Chain A
């Protein structure tokens, strides 16, 4: 395979698309390429958008993109949809809701499936952000379904995270998993023309004010209302994102956040590399399966055995 990096840096959409595929496939060749593009990253503002199905995230993403395009900003969009746990296949339907952006050469949309591996997905999403960043996109929007722990990991890659809620979905703060409240830099109550919107706004506001952890932060988490299908409130939403971005830059928080993020990413890369190398060694010779037989037959126990394996491994070195 030819080296895709120079082409990506020169703005080849084809090369970017192919490199993203390598990352999605966890192809080992991608690591080298990612290393080469790394020095060109760090310029884009990364916006994470998450929320339950049916909250209108894709439409919101489309409208935000339209606002950004009016400002002549280029945009990369990563739309994540779940893979089927049974077949491994996926129906990626977000693209269709981004028709406005669709057809604009300065908007790049990539649909990604979770491929039954959310931990890995967080990794590959981070890498895809890097690729779009190096390509020169001013903004990168990551849209994920749901507000579970796994999605939280994905949006950790974002500089600004928007959590979207909508009335009438049984979507209450109580139903959200731990950790989700904390990731929001902005709350959006979409479909705000529906009944129950104001109650939801109040509920979120109260929750934000009562949460000691959120309250202790210097950033005041705003709660905004939008009706994305009618393009209401999207302008103010983008302004709020600007505001947050400015806050990050001026407070020196951006540096801190990025340092922490880089640490996390590097650490997880290290963990992955270690575990892959080590497992290759352990599983390579077939003795592991014998060990399982022994454990099943009660000749050995898993706890002592694992300890022994690690000890042997290091004594070999």
Chain B
């Protein structure tokens, strides 16, 4: 790590869900915490998200879903990241995700799930503490 190193985040909304309040809010919060955030917008396939992570050499991929498709999309993103050799990328998720789904998502390689009402500073702290040093 050099002094100029900054955490690079991809914020993405997988699937067809258009509720992006949380995703956009977090993009802003991450930027205010000194990170460089690439927002990919709506209707992203896991392939598109991973391609962005690859090209941008992202440290973190943040996924947001409110339509109940997390069990399909989040693990698929992790899987594709691994396929591309991006094992070190920290994947975090948020949105409306029942607690009972969290263990399964964590087993699949999602580092953390942040539900509604999570303080953004806790999310920032988690990311800062958990990105792998390269």
Q: Do they bind each other?
A: yes
Residue B21 CB within 8 A of the other chain: no
Main SS at interface, chain B: mixed
**Residues of A at under 8 Å CB distance from B?**
13-14, 17-18, 20-21, 24-28, 83-84, 87-93, 95-96, 99, 102-103, 108-111, 113, 115
Within 8 A of A (CB), among B55-77: 55-57
Q: Return chain A residues, CB-CB under 8 Å to B55.
A: 13, 17, 108-110
Count of CB-CB pairs between chains A and B under 8 Å? 83
The residues of B with any CB-CB pair to A shorter than 8 Å are 2, 4-6, 8, 27-28, 30-41, 47-48, 51-52, 54-57, 84-86
Given known contacts A21-B57, A91-B37, A93-B39, A26 and B30 CB-to-CB distance under 8 angstroms: no
Given contacts A91-B28, A111-B38, 18 further A-B contacts (CB under 8 A): A14-B54, A14-B84, A14-B85, A18-B57, A21-B8, A25-B4, A27-B4, A83-B36, A89-B34, A89-B36, A90-B36, A95-B40, A99-B41, A102-B48, A102-B52, A103-B47, A109-B55, A111-B56
> Is B54 a contact partner of A13 (Cβ separation < 8 A)?
yes
Task: Say whether A84 contacts B31, CB under 8 Å.
Answer: yes
Instruction: Say whether B56 contacts A88, CB under 8 Å.
Output: no
The 3 closest A-B pairs by CB, nearest first: A89-B31, A17-B57, A96-B41
A165 to B56 alpha-carbon distance, docked (Å): 28
Known interface pairs A26-B2, A88-B6; A113-B47 also in contact (CB < 8 Å)? no
Cβ of B17 to closest chain A Cβ, rounded Å: 16
Complex: A24 Cα to B52 Cα, angstroms: 17
User: B32 and A87: CB pair below 8 A?
Assistant: yes
Complex Cα spacing A20 to B55, Å = 10
Q: Name 12 A/B residue pairs within 8 A (Cβ), A-sorted.
A: A20-B57, A21-B57, A89-B6, A89-B34, A89-B35, A89-B36, A89-B37, A91-B37, A93-B38, A110-B55, A111-B36, A111-B56
Q: How far is the CA of A110 from the CA of B36 in the complex (A)?
A: 12
CB closest chain-A residue, reference B48: A103
Question: Distance in Å from the Cβ of A176 to the closest Cβ of chain B?
Answer: 28
Contact A26 B4 (CB under 8 A): yes
B39 and A115 contact, CB distance less than 8 A: no
